[in-house]
Amino acid sequence: MPPHIFSISDNAYHNMLQDRENQSILITGESGAGKTENTKKVISYFAMVAAATKKEDDDTVKKGTLEDQIVQANPVLEAYGNAKTNRNNNSSR
């Protein structure tokens, strides 16, 4: 069974910190396979991990967590990068 997307994300994050080298995750598949949804999970995971390592301050109550801010920005990015196709109403381009 292939590794879970969070395991892959965690390995990339820890390798980045340990080796101090850029990491990449390639998400591939046919139309409708869940590439965009898995990308959202990866972004959410990285935002959660990054926020956990950052000190909490009083402003986070007003602005929301870093994870929330990144996840909430996703619909704006989708508006510019997605289109309706025959196979998917919200296909990422």
Per the annotation, binding residues for ATP are 29-36
Angle, alpha carbons 40-58-77 (nearest 5°): 25
Q: How far is 14 from 23, CA to CA, in rounded Å?
A: 10
Q: Which three-class secondary structure state does DSSP give residue 64?
A: coil
